Amino acid sequence: MQLKQYKVYFSDKLSSIYPKTEIDTFFSYLIEEYLGLQRIDMIMKPDFEISTEKEKALNIALERLGKEEPIQYIIEKTEFYGLPFNVNRHTLIPRPETEELVEWVLNTTEKEKKLNFIDIGTGSGCIPISLKKNLPSANVSAIDISDDALKIAKQNAQLNNVIINFIRRDILETEELPQLYDVIVSNPPYVRNLEKVEIKNNVLENEPHLALFVDDNNPLIFYSKIADLAKDHLTKNGILFFEINQYLGKETMDMLKEKGFINIELRKDFLTNDRMIKASL
């Protein structure tokens, strides 16, 4: 089948599920991944003949998209903060708002100093790897409860040629961190079960619930625990950074105040949702 013919077939199959712009994006990702073609080739090489073998691979991806599986899981990779990352169903797909958190950390950090960082709940490793890539003199560690997530995170550290100290640990059962840190950063689970109705199927049915959801009755469980650890493991001028539930900005700030944190700053993301908090002791 020719490229232009397959594009029509592909679009028809997905038109009842996704908007045209998203379908076009999916198609561009897939022809690059499976055919080595770029978006411009739809114009320059419309008569490109797709082999039977490649067409089968594209059809499998098409079927998975039809079931609302994220394109990142299908091609098993994504980009975050300009860097390549492997992802699978054991890791969350990194989000643009988390890039904003990384940017805030980097803009707050004195780059010439050899600082110690730790990321709690690292998933794919996107936060610590991005920090290390931009702060090569820093010592960076990362914690996660999932062996499967840590496996991917270690692959991503190797992919991006950085050294991260990965630690498997249940943070809720942790009483001591390995050392003092200049920066503690975390994007922990924060979506309440009551908010599941707002979550799209491609996330709800595919991304790991362990990394997403918390009990409605104790939505700040991870934030409270990490804040307690930060009180004992931040250096004198250390800073705590959180990505937060957009509906719980005030509650998260109040919790930090009660625990003795100062200089608490709440920031909105690019969608104007309350999304990030910085605090110190």
Tens digits of residue pLDDT in 175-212: 999 999 999 999 998 888 788 777 777 777 777 787 77
Mean pLDDT across the chain, nearest whole number? 91
Token pair in block for residue 247: 């509906």
| CA 189-192-197 angle, 5° bins | 120
- CB of 263 closer than 8 Å to CB of 278: yes
Task: Reply yes or no on whether the pLDDT at 261 is more than 80.
Answer: yes
Query: Higher model confidence: residue 45 or residue 228?
Result: 228
- CB of 159 closer than 8 Å to CB of 97: no
Best CA proximity match to 227, nearest among 179, 277, 267:
277
Q: Give me the residue spans of the domains in the chain.
A: 3-67, 77-280
Task: Reply yes or no on whether the pLDDT at 265 is more than 90.
Answer: yes
**Which residue carries 């080739």 as its tokens?**
41
DSSP state of 51: P
**Local confidence band at 264 (pLDDT 50, 70, 90 cut-offs):** very high
d(CA 254, CA 118): 23
Which pLDDT score is estimated for 140?
Answer: 97
**Local confidence band at 22 (pLDDT 50, 70, 90 cut-offs):** very high
DSSP state of 39: T
Q: What's the mean pLDDT in 225-253?
A: 94
Q: How far is CA 190 from CA 187, 199, 208, 243, in A?
A: 8, 13, 13, 9
Superfamily name and number for 77-280: Vaccinia Virus protein VP39 (3.40.50.150)
Q: Is the dihedral of CA 116, 94, 158, 174 positive or negative?
A: positive
d(CA 96, CA 239): 22
